[in-house]
Amino acid sequence: MREGPTIGVLALQGDVREHLAALTAAGARAVTVRRERELAQVDGLVLPGGESTTIDRLLRTFELREPLRERIAAGLPVYGSCAGMVLLAERVLDGDQDQRTLGGLDVTVRRNAFGRQVASWEEDLPVEGVTGGGPDVRAVFIRAPWVEEAGEGVRVLARVGSGPAAGRIVAVRSGDLLATSFHPEITGDDRVHRYFAGLVRDRVQERVRAERRG
């Protein structure tokens, strides 16, 4: 059996363990990333849910912000869930005054758009590229962002279907960057992680082919 790609989970704050388990179930070799040397060894990276302002501060403390920005710019596949979506966004509404993002994803995101934690929302949603003809994904929104505006190169994968947030964009992809407002890692459904692992695997295979040609 072919070994899966090595996918890191940024392990500074947030629901790290759940993402590690989902990636392992999806066939990836899942590892934690806290240091630059660990970042250098992964084929893809997950930015987990948590508190985006706290993760931003810790990225600077652990001297990971600039190395990670450089790897994203160089084409590292990254999946951001909830706070991870905020970190990937080029523009953030309702963020803290000194909050900075990693960027790379041409979207405007509204932080904590679904309201406080007591206003958490759940809905079954079709997600392009993930559900196909199968059952919808159970989307759990916890103090979640949504995408206010997506750039021309960004593909919308899912929107909220009902309730006061109906029509809001909650899953997007641009090249090798994937982001969801919701938390698939806590539902026991690993299809979003399989989708991302497949994306990472494709990039690894492309790199191997290029190295052989070179």
Among this protein's residues, is 183 annotated catalytic?
yes
Among this protein's residues, is 128 annotated catalytic?
no
DSSP H or E stretch at residue 197: helix 191-213
* Burial of 110: CB neighbours in 10 Å, binned 0-12, 13-18, 19+: buried
In this structure, the number of other CB atoms found within 10 A of the CB of residue 161 comes to 16
d(CA 148, CA 154): 12
Please spell the DSSP secondary structure of 28-49, one letter per residue: -EEEEE-SHHHHTT-SEEEE-S
d(CA 129, CA 191): 10
Q: Which of 4, 130, 112 is nearest to 50 (CA)?
A: 112
Q: Which of 18, 19, 183, 193 is catalytic?
A: 183
Among this protein's residues, is 152 annotated catalytic?
no
Please spell the DSSP secondary structure of 50-90, one letter per residue: S-HHHHHHHHHHTT-HHHHHHHHHTT--EEEETHHHHHHEE
Strands 6-10 and 177-180: unpaired
Q: Which of 89, 77, 12 is nearest to 49 (CA)?
A: 12
Q: Which of 185, 193, 206, 211 is catalytic?
A: 185
Q: Which of 18, 82, 123, 193 is catalytic?
A: 82
Active site residues: 82, 183, 185
